Amino acid sequence: MEVRIFDTADEIAVACADIFTEIIKNKPDCILGLATGASPVKTYKELIRRYNNGEISFENIRTFNLDEYCDLPRDDKNSYYTFMHENLFNSVNIKEENVHIPDGNAADPEAHAKSYDAMIDAAGGIDIQLLGIGTNGHIGFNEPSDTFSDGTFKVKLTDSTIKSNSIYFDDDSMPRYALTMGINSIMKAKKIVLIATGEAKADAIKATVDGEVTPMCPASVLKNHPDAILLIDKAAAKLL
Ligand code: GLP
């Protein structure tokens, strides 16, 4: 696992967009694994800028998102479907049929999760997976647990995640469950880039980089990946 430390989130966005740009240029029909949350927003802005410059095209790209809340209408302002369209898809030439986000309202979540993984495999696997990290070390919505998860599954969110993410929701309406790619789905990606900024992520980054590989800090599994890069700022790197 490679760790690169930057002064600012803007520099991280450029470095991350550089990695994506190289892959997109080498393989215009690549498969991107995408993430939500505040961490990737600047990277998406930079990719939109490069698309507008004519540097990259999303015409033949297919995307698979990491996760989605359960029991939240797809067009809710807080759904990851809405997030991805507002922060990236509406501003580039991606075809809607090439966009994949787990359906948190699927009648049979288990069957849906299986078919989501099968679709990723049928597409040839993810060329590059973008990740953020939760303050508890979660990736996607893989919460600290006794075992590493396998494929996409329905997860009960922890109190810590509910606390972190409920700032976006009115009242107490934050969903308690989500569908997320599993650790094994994430680890199958050919390349993984994780972004973390700010002091709130320092403990999680310390456990990921210096701690043992343990499902109690899901991101620590990235040490077992042959091509994982952490792009972090000085505040997130504070305890290293
Ligand atoms: C959410 C998402 C994760 C994300 C994490 C951190 O829980 N499911 O994919 O990495 O939050 O979010 P942020 O980047 O806003 O700190």
Say yes or no: CB of residue 137 within 6 Å of ligand 1.
no
Return the ligand 1 atom nearest residue 37 CA.
15
Say yes or no: CB of residue 142 within 6 Å of ligand 1.
no
Q: Give the domain CATH number at 135.
A: 3.40.50.1360
Return the ligand 1 atom nearest residue 131 CA.
10
pLDDT recorded at residue 169: 93
**Residue 202 domain boundaries:** 2-223
Say yes or no: CB of residue 132 within 6 Å of ligand 1.
yes
pLDDT recorded at residue 85: 98
Say yes or no: CB of residue 38 within 6 Å of ligand 1.
yes
For the ranges 18-32, 96-110, 164-178, the lowest mean pLDDT is seen at: 164-178
What integer is the mean pLDDT of 116-143?
97
Cα(38) to ligand 1 centroid in Å equals: 7
Cα(36) to ligand 1 centroid in Å equals: 6
CA neighbours closer than 13 Å in the CB half-sphere of residue 219 = 31
CA neighbours closer than 13 Å in the CB half-sphere of residue 103 = 11
pLDDT recorded at residue 172: 84
Is residue 240 in some structural domain? no
pLDDT per position as a tens digit, 55-82: 999 999 999 999 999 999 999 999 999 9
- How far is 61 from 148, CA to CA, in rounded Å? 29
pLDDT per position as a tens digit, 198-229: 999 999 999 999 999 999 999 999 999 999 99
Residues across the chain? 240
Mean pLDDT for all residues in the chain: 97
pLDDT recorded at residue 201: 98
pLDDT recorded at residue 217: 98
Is residue 104 in some structural domain? yes
Is residue 233 in some structural domain? no
**Which of 103, 175, 184, 107 has the alpha carbon at shortest distance from 142?**
184
Is residue 238 in some structural domain? no
Say yes or no: CB of residue 79 within 6 Å of ligand 1.
no
**pLDDT at residue 239 tops 90:** yes
pLDDT recorded at residue 160: 87
Number of domains in the chain: 1
Cα(35) to ligand 1 centroid in Å equals: 8
Is residue 230 in some structural domain? no
Residue 233: which pLDDT band, with cuts at 50, 70 and 90? very high
Is residue 229 in some structural domain? no
What integer is the mean pLDDT of 135-141?
96
**pLDDT at residue 170 tops 90:** no
Cα(8) to ligand 1 centroid in Å equals: 19
Is residue 90 in some structural domain? yes
Question: pLDDT over 70 for what percent of the chain?
Answer: 100
HEC sequence for the chain: CEEEEECCHHHHHHHHHHHHHHHHHHCCCCEEEECCCCCCHHHHHHHHHHHHCCCCCCCCCEEEECEEECCCCCCCCCCHHHHHHHHCHHHCCCCHHHEECCCCCCCCHHHHHHHHHHHHHHCCCCCEEEECCCCCCCECCECCCCCCCCCCEEEECCHHHHHHHHHHCCCCCCCCEEEECCHHHHHCCCEEEEEECCHHHHHHHHHHHHCCCECCEHHHHHHHCCCEEEEEECCCCCCC
